[in-house]
Amino acid sequence: MKWYIISLMPLIFWESAFAATSYHAADAPDPHVASYIDGIKPVMDHGTWFHGILNEFEGRYAPSGSEFRWDGEAWYGGDYNRLWLKTEGTIDKGRMSDGDHEALYSHAISRYFDAQAGVRVDLDSGPTRTWGAFGIQGLALYEFEVQVTGYVSDQGRFAGKLEGSYDFLLTNRLILQPQAEFNLQTKSDRARGAGAGLSDVDAGLRLRYEFWRKFAPYIAVTYSGYFTQARRFAHERDDPTGTVRFTFGIRSWF
């Protein structure tokens, strides 16, 4: 028995020494050194970038009258914190309406959503209004793009905006996008033509072709209309209360 134990001692010593040694492949990357792929350093969370997109830049045509509309946004920052600038508006017969311009601070609260807060200014041919803004923006289930924003004005009014869109890839470059924007207010604002409750909607069905990813002309059918008190205000101004228009435009980003 003593002889058997003595004969096993070299084997026990060898196994202990092997267990205490850390081995790895000769070509394994060092975890403390950044790896480069084809000479390009991978994107890190602490980097900052600038990105802008022009979602709508379009002419809308109908027998009752034509108009031009834009909707764009840009941001600067990283994966977690960003400064957003947003602008939209409509020009009809030399008069600008629906001029919504926002500056927001954005912070990531999940993998798909950001919380945003800042200021909005309604600046167009009508009376100027200033609002505090807060909301969320991101990708909902099945990659629906969603923005929900609440506003409180310097005159004690409250408002809300709900926006959504979705991209159907018919081919790798041909994309069909339904889009809608709803605006609500707690109090009417006759000077700006906004009514209490659901005030107005702007929606469209756009078919775009991406010649390259940063340039995509499109054709569309769009609808803009008023509800409740805002509908009555439009009647008083002799404006259409709801119009379907044939539309063409360009979507671009940088």
Query: What per-residue confidence (pLDDT) applies to 141?
Result: 87
Q: How far is CA 153 from CA 87, 121, 133, 217, in A?
A: 18, 9, 9, 37
| Residue 159 buriedness (CB in 10 A; 0-12 / 13-18 / 19+) | buried
Query: What per-residue confidence (pLDDT) applies to 238?
Result: 86
Query: What per-residue confidence (pLDDT) applies to 94?
Result: 87
> What are phi and psi for residue 131, nearest 5 degrees?
-135, 150
Query: What per-residue confidence (pLDDT) applies to 146?
Result: 97
**pLDDT lower than 50: segments of the chain:** 1-29, 31
Residue at 70: amino acid letter: W
Query: What per-residue confidence (pLDDT) applies to 154?
Result: 82
pTM: 0.80
